[in-house]
Amino acid sequence: MLERINFLKPEAYPPSGEEKSAARVLDITAETCPMTFVRVRLALDRLPPGAILEVLLKGEEPRRNVPRTAAEQGHQVLSQAELPGGLMRLVLRRKG
């Protein structure tokens, strides 16, 4: 089961409308490429078409590659937001 990471305080980083409806939250901040997108793809594959996935990631390579690869595979990038500590919150809608 995918869980929200503990060190982000929800009141400090309120979710947008898309993030409030996220079916899953995936933390890949400790992963390195190519495992970053492998984990995202597996999570997306487990969701029904149109479902929302919120991804927390860190590092320049995942910031470039994960949104680009998700879009190339037909998923919709709903938002990207910078967070403190070099983190990024990426919200994706599964294709279909």
Q: Catalytic residue positions? A: 33
DSSP code string of 45-89: HTSPTT-EEEEEEESHHHHHHHHHHHHHTT-EEEEEEEEGGGEEE
CA atoms within 13 A on the CB side of 13: 16
Contact criterion met (CB below 8 Å) for 76 and 7:
no
